[in-house]
Amino acid sequence: MSKFYEVRTRDGAARLGKLALSESMQTPLMLRLESGDGLAVVRAGDSNFDDLASEETWTALRGTVLLPEIHPSFTNVTSLFTDFFVLAFASSLLRSPRDFVRRVIDTRNALPPDVALWVPAIATPENAAILFYMGVDILDDTNAVLKGYQGIYQMEDGEARISDLEDLPCNCTVCADLSIDELRARDRKERALLLARHNTLLLDKEVKKTRACIRAGNLREYVEMKVRASTFLTAVLRLLDFNEEPYFEQRTPVARKQIMNVNTMESLKRIEVKRFASRVLDRYEPPARQILLILPCSARKPYSRSNSHTKFIEAIGAYRGSIHELILTSPLGVVPRELEVVYPAALYDIPVTGYWDSEERDWVSSCLRAYLNKNQKSYEVVVAHLGGAYKEICTGVADELGIEIMFTCETNEKATSNEALNRLNARIAELCTDRKRLYGYEQKSGIVKAMADFQVGIGAGSELMTSKEGERLKITGKFPFHKLSADKEVLARIVPQYGLLTFTLNGARRITNLRSSYKVEIGDFVPRGSILAPGVVNADPQIRVNDEVVFCGDKAFGVGRAKMSGWEMVQSRKGVAVQVREVEEV
């Protein structure tokens, strides 16, 4: 439990926070050990350790050394009144990538979320970003200074002995005014101080860079790029992706404004990708239509705004009401047309070369296989307007499942060529018994319903969209800015910037599952603006950052957007838990 630390912004497990030292400081933080004033750190077994069990003596920022469980002085720490923990024997993290992952994640899991974690004496400009990505809040310059005294010059992507360098590849205040020969000519102590200064400045720059990434919500992309220079850190990231999925799932927002850039093999393992794929299976029901049409993705999002999809839609236009469209894409797998606005379907970018590596093929195939396995009974016919690798994936899955898929593209043909489009048009006309366009309301309501199910769970959409006696539902606004109203009262709106559906109080009242599974119970007050963590009595553990939630207490009922995960709202003593949209006194 902390008193002088507050987490303000999250990007996955990484956090921007405020530490009330003698002056207020931001985490991720690089502490300069020479100026360590204002910090009171005690070890288990120290004479004033007992003070940490009470709140009364707590008047300044304080921290506790966290000993491994095997240590004789190990104490269970979660109930202590302390602002930060110092991970003891952190240098043992460097023994293997596995130890690195295990100890940091175990430690973070053992600590309350509103307490900062300091991993001392191991920070380098190379590993700082991934340490913060894992949920560490504080590093220090010990290693940078030490390396300086050892004659080691640190760089963004590694280090070298000063004797091996030909040049100083840096523009910091030390390197800008000095040539390598001048540096070598200095006496030992002065050289060590200059090197230490350069190493510290570089680490500080890296910490600032990480803070900027967290603020921008793209730390994952930065980490994928950073680890490339080191096999050790690449192994750390892969182990995190393979073994620590629950840890990151609990901390990853359900939606956000930032584009997800899928540039590396590790990007396929992102929580956002896995979560989308599993929700398409668990929280989506296709509409009753005769034909399933599988289409390739487009670079422009939402897909239906792209040139290629405009052509596909034109080709099937007169029969669109009998067709359900499914988009095949890497890395999301399959995107039903109604979910094309949802995060991250409308907010991802991937380099398109026409070449798919085997891991990408396997993943996308598994998504298509799972979808068809579950939903093929809903369709009479499956048509695929796909060429190249898309077609190969689709053929493989059809063979495995023993289902027949009609292809309307030749293998090496562009799906947007006139021949292919004509073939698509002719095949659809042949399969459909009569012309049936997809009319405005049916199309729009399909989107709103699917998005509600996807966010809250199956059934939410139909509850939201069932009109009560005498009531008239209406969807206004141009795609994708749809707004659902009942007799002029707004129920829900699509917010395409986030890929989310937001609910009004009236909309939320209709959805049982929103009220039961996305519920935040608050104390005896009427919130204005935002609900702070201490005001939360209980919150559903499945709530994630940016989820739509309902809050209720003795005096208020309302809707808003979660700013931390449900478990974090319950365990934290500081910070904004929910941003209030609408509230009503009860």
Binding site for Zn ion (CB under 5 A): 170, 172, 174-175, 198
Q: Which is nearer to Zn ion, 170 or 552 (CB)?
A: 170
In the bound complex, what is the minimum distance in angstroms from residue 15's beta carbon to Zn ion? 29
Q: Coil, strand, or helix at residue 186?
A: coil
User: Which CB sits closer to Zn ion, 111 or 144?
Assistant: 144
- What the block records as the tokens of 433 is 């018994």
Closest approach of Zn ion to the CB of residue 136, in Å: 24
Q: Which among 76, 14, 60 is positioned nearest to 216, based on CA atoms?
A: 14
Q: How many CB atoms lie within 10 A of CB 486?
A: 18
For residue 113, report the phi and psi dihedrals to the nearest 5 degrees: -70, -20
- Which amino acid, one-letter code, is at 439? Y
Our CB check for Zn ion shows the closer of 172 and 318 to be 172
Which are the contacts of 293, defined by CB distance < 8 A and separation ≥ 6? 316, 323, 324, 325, 326, 383, 384, 385, 428
CB 13 within 8 Å of CB 219: no
From the CB of 123, what's the least distance to Zn ion, in Å? Answer: 16
| Pair 555, 585: CB distance under 8 Å | yes
Kindly tell me which of 128 and 577 has the beta carbon lying closer to Zn ion. 128
Residue 183 or 556: the one with the smaller Cβ distance to Zn ion is 183
Q: What is the residue whose two structure tokens read 């029901």?
A: 285
Half-sphere CA count of 179, side-chain side, radius 13 A: 4
Q: How close are the terminal C-alpha atoms of the chain, in Å?
A: 32
Query: Least distance to Zn ion from the beta carbon of 178, Å?
Result: 9
The C-alpha atoms of residue 166 and residue 162 are separated, in whole angstroms, by 9
Tell me the C-alpha to C-alpha distance, in Å, between residue 211 and each of 28, 206, 240, 263, 285.
6, 9, 21, 21, 40
Least separation in angstroms between residue 170's CB and Zn ion is 3
Task: Tell the smallest beta-carbon distance from residue 165 to Zn ion (Å).
Answer: 11
CB 199 to Zn ion: min, Å: 8
Which CB, 175 or 514, lies closer to Zn ion?
A: 175
CB closer to Zn ion, 198 vs 289 = 198
244 φ, ψ (degrees, to nearest 5): -115, 30
Nearer to Zn ion, 177 or 434 (CB): 177
Longest dimension (CA), the chain: 90
- How, if at all, do strands 152-155 and 381-384 pair? unpaired
Paired with 536 in beta bridges are 522
Return the number of the residue (144 or 394) whose C-beta is nearest Zn ion: 144
- Closer residue to Zn ion (CB): 170 or 370: 170
Give me the least distance between CB of 182 and Zn ion, in Å please: 13
- Residue closest to 370 by CA, chosen among 246, 280, 249: 280
Return the number of the residue (34 or 177) whose C-beta is nearest Zn ion: 177
Q: Is 499 left (phi over 0), alpha (psi -120 to 50) or beta?
A: left
What whole-number distance in Å separates Cα of residue 558 and Cα of residue 556? Answer: 7
Q: How far is the CB of 126 from Zn ion (least distance, A)?
A: 15
Asked if 6 contacts 17 with a C-beta cutoff of 8 angstroms, the reply is yes
Question: How many beta carbons lie within 10 A of that of residue 104, not counting itself?
Answer: 24
CB 455 within 8 A of CB 547: yes
Residue 431 contacts residue 291 (beta carbons within 8 Å): yes
Whichever of 197 and 427 has its CB closer to Zn ion, that residue is: 197
Judged by DSSP in three states, 66 sits in: strand
What one-letter code names the amino acid at 71?
H
Q: Provide, rounded to whole angstroms, the least separation between the CB of residue 215 and Zn ion.
A: 25
Min dist CB 202 to Zn ion, Å, is 6
Tokens found for residue 204: 């500080």
Q: At 123, is the secondary structure helix, strand, or coil?
A: coil
From the CB of 198, what's the least distance to Zn ion, in Å?
4
CB 545 within 8 A of CB 563: yes
Length of the chain: 586
Query: Which contiguous run of DSSP H or E holds residue 579?
Result: strand 576-585
| Nearer of residues 155 and 420 to Zn ion, judged by Cβ | 155
User: Closer to Zn ion at the Cβ: 194 or 214?
Assistant: 194
Nearest to 17 by CA among 581, 572, 578: 572
The DSSP 8-state label assigned to residue 285 in this structure reads -
